[in-house]
């Protein structure tokens, strides 16, 4: 479908085809471990089924995000990057014709399966030449006092020990456990064994990929089918990085107590993630680069081209390369994440 620019813009200072910050309609995913918080957060009608994920920016498979508002409302992210790749991506490139990152929020009320994602080579080996691996990062937006997560194996765990522990229903004994707190960030390179457990609202950025190998599902039965969910033990064990050991949370250092602070959290081969702490206006984004701005605490306004865009918890704005930097005006203290393509 061709993208049609309507001329609904009333701002005479902006040419009618100038790009603006783009927000997409969340794509909700049902999951037995989810709840109702995401539908409330994104002002969506309630559902009888628990909602585990809200994909706020996606070009995965059939789930390419749709622009929620503005002149490009209704256009799909995939159409936009195919029709104007440089205006949106700048110097960054597609991966297999797709936007390379997937951004989502997760609400976890019950433990997810213990799982692992392949790296790019293993993804192609197991799922075909167009498959991508999945390196991901988590930012903890909310955590109940009882919340927990598993992230990485204890040092020295072997494939034989893994297999025995899965057979004995005791895999959790080999995993590193954390009591996460709001603001913790974890980088999970592909091959990290992990599970988010309970009482968590998490922002996640990952490679555009939906390949998950379940190693262990706590002996649960899916109420919809009356059967355990499928496990992928052989593929999963082949993808585990046994030499990696536990993942530690990345905590912002307390240096620099200015009113605006940018802390780098993650730099990996696929994305970077930085955290803004601010109570006064600052400029986010970078001229000529595609960036994503995500509200995780407090409220702010994004300003660009004489227009204002709301930036509360959950709001995710894609800044096309053509848009570049924007002014962010906090309404009190805010925490805002900025994500870039590599």
**Annotated active-site positions, please?**
214
- In contact, 244 and 252? CB cutoff 8 Å: no
Instruction: Note the Cα 320 to chain centre separation in Å.
Output: 18
Backbone angles phi, psi at 39, to 5 degrees: -65, -35
Cα separation, 228 vs 9, in Å, equals 52
- Cβ atoms 239, 189 nearer than 8 A: no
Q: Within 10 Å of residue 188's Cβ, how many Cβ atoms? A: 22
Cα 63 from Cα 111, distance rounded (Å): 25
Give the phi and the psi of residue 295 in degrees, each rounded to 5: -80, 130
Could you write out the three-class secondary structure of the chain? Answer: CCCCCCCCCCCCCCCCCCCCCECECCEEEEEEEEECHHHHHCCCCCCCCCEEEEEEECEECCEECEECCCCCCCCEHHHHHHHCHHHHHCCCCCECCECCEEEEEEEECCCCCEEECCCHHHHHHHHCCCCCCCCEEEEEEEEEEEEEEEEEECCCCCHHHHHHHHHCCCHHHHEEEECCCCCCEEEECCCCCEEEEEEEEEEEEEECCCCCEEEECCCCCECCCCECCCCCHHHHHHHCCCCCCCCCCECCCCCCCCCEEEEEEEECCCEEEEEEEECCCEEECCCCCCEEEEEEECCEEEEECCEEEEECCCCEEEECCCCCCEEEEECCCEEEEEEEEC
């Amino acid at each position: 479908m061709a993208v049609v620019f309507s001329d609904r813009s009333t701002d005479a200072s902006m040419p009618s085809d100038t790009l603006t910050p783009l927000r997409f309609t969340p794509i909700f995913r049902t999951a037995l471990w989810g709840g109702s918080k995401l539908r409330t957060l994104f002002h969506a009608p309630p559902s009888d089924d628990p909602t585990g994920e809200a994909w706020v920016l996606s070009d995965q498979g059939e789930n390419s995000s749709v622009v929620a508002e503005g002149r490009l409302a209704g256009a799909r992210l995939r159409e936009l990057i195919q029709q104007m790749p440089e205006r949106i991506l700048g110097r960054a490139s597609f991966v297999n014709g797709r936007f390379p990152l997937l951004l989502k929020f997760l609400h976890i009320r019950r433990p997810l399966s213990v799982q692992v994602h392949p790296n790019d080579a293993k993804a192609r080996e197991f799922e075909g030449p167009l498959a991508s691996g999945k390196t991901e990062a988590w930012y903890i937006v909310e955590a109940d006092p009882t919340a927990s997560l598993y992230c990485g194996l204890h040092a020295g765990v072997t494939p034989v020990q893994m297999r025995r522990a899965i057979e004995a229903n005791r895999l959790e004994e080999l995993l590193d456990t954390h009591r996460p707190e709001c603001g913790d960030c974890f980088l999970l390179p592909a091959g990290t064994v992990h599970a988010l457990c309970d009482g968590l609202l998490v922002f996640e950025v990952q490679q555009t990929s939906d390949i998950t190998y379940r190693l262990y599902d706590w002996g649960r039965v899916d109420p919809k089918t009356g059967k355990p969910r499928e496990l992928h033990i052989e593929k999963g064990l082949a993808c585990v990085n046994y030499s990696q050991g536990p993942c530690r949370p990345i905590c912002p250092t307390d240096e620099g107590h200015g009113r605006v602070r940018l802390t780098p959290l993650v730099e990996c081969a696929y994305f970077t993630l930085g955290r803004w702490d601010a109570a006064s206006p600052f400029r986010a984004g970078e001229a000529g680069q595609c960036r994503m701005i995500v509200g995780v605490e407090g409220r702010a306004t994004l300003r660009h081209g004489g227009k204002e865009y709301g930036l509360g918890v959950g709001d995710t704005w894609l800044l096309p390369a053509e848009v570049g930097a924007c002014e962010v005006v906090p309404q009190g203290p805010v925490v805002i994440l900025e994500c870039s393509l590599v």
